[in-house]
Amino acid sequence: MSTEIEQENGTGTDETPARVSQPGREGRGGRLWAQARGAFFALPRGLHAVMLIIFMVLGFALVTQVRSQRSDPLEGLSEQDLVTVLDELGTQEQNLRTRRGELASELEELQGAADEADAREQAARKAAQQAQIAAGTIAVHGPGVSLSIVDPGANLTPTQFVMTLGELRNAGAEAIELNGVRLSTRSAFTGQAGGIIVDGTPIASPYTWNVIGESQTIATALEIQAGSAAQMRAKGALVSITPSADIEITSLATPRPPQYATYG
């Protein structure tokens, strides 16, 4: 007894203060379990069997509940219910097929609209390019003919040049250049014999026409009876037509604003 008191007062030989032991949770739990077990065995033996049966029934019910939760949800359905489920699935599948067909039709319409828009864009771009070529505002190259005219007597007048330009256009010429001057739909010839002026630029012999188009058609048009080539030869000019696989025209026409026409 004196030893315990000394430890509590810290006067013992051990420098560490002594701790008074207290019963833990494990001790309390053990006593409760012991009391419950004692109470169970204190019951009459007939009740032991009843308690055992109750525990077995509760365990079986618990296992059955767990199994039922893990089982296939369709196992408990009747045949009529299964038929109903199948009908609903078939209806949903048909709806999905119908929707897929509708989406496919919409996709085809969108693709068709995109193709149509692309075709319109290409047509507009081509038309704009053709307008630029006709106006002489872009450089071009392609097959055609080279028309060379030498007028040693200076006898050719603007009339022969106007006739030549008209024949070239009627033959399908797409681009025309004369002595480095790009001709357009608004080109004009002025002056007199020996002093030809085209679009305000004086030109002189030899005259060289570079023409892009179907070479055979153009050559035939120039050589028709009483045509421009025949009339120039009649005035003493030397005319030669040379087809070419590729003629390059780099000169550009100067755009002129309309003098009389207005938009709208």
- Determine the Cα–Cα distance for residues 166 and 218; give it in Å rounded to an integer: 11
Q: Which of 175, 180, 170 is nearest to 142 (CA)?
A: 175
Q: What is the mean pLDDT of residues 28-43?
A: 63
**What DSSP element (H or E) covers 155?**
none
Q: 206-259 pLDDT, tens per residue?
A: 999 999 999 999 999 999 988 999 999 999 999 999 999 999 999 999 877 777
- Residues 168/218, Cβ–Cβ less than 8 Å: yes
Residue 21's SS3 state is coil
The values of phi and psi at residue 107, to 5°, are: -65, -40
Q: How many CB atoms lie within 10 A of CB 202?
A: 12
- Determine the Cα–Cα distance for residues 220 and 241; give it in Å rounded to an integer: 10
Q: How many CB atoms lie within 10 A of CB 214?
A: 18
- Determine the Cα–Cα distance for residues 189 and 65; give it in Å rounded to an integer: 108
At 88 the pLDDT is 85
At 135 the pLDDT is 87
Q: Which of 175, 215, 181 is nearest to 198 (CA)?
A: 181
Q: How many CB atoms lie within 10 A of CB 182?
A: 23
> What's the gap between Cα 57 and its chain centre?
70
C-alpha distances out from residue 205 to 145, 152, 166, Å: 18, 8, 20
Q: 134-171 pLDDT, tens per residue?
A: 889 999 999 999 999 999 999 999 999 999 999 999 99
Q: Angle CA(151)–CA(154)–CA(157) in degrees, nearest 5?
A: 95
Q: How confident is the model at residue 262 (pLDDT cuts 50, 70, 90)?
A: confident
- Determine the Cα–Cα distance for residues 259 and 261; give it in Å rounded to an integer: 6
The per-residue DSSP string of 130-170 comes to HHHHHHT-S-EEEEEEEEEEE-TT----HHHHHHHHHHHHH
Between helices 45-70 and 25-42, what is the axis angle to 10°? 120
At 239 the pLDDT is 97
At 144 the pLDDT is 97
Q: Which of 115, 177, 118, 113 is nearest to 145 (CA)?
A: 177
Q: 71-126 pLDDT, tens per residue?
A: 555 666 677 777 787 888 888 888 898 988 888 888 888 888 888 888 888 899 98
The owner of tokens 């190259």 is 141
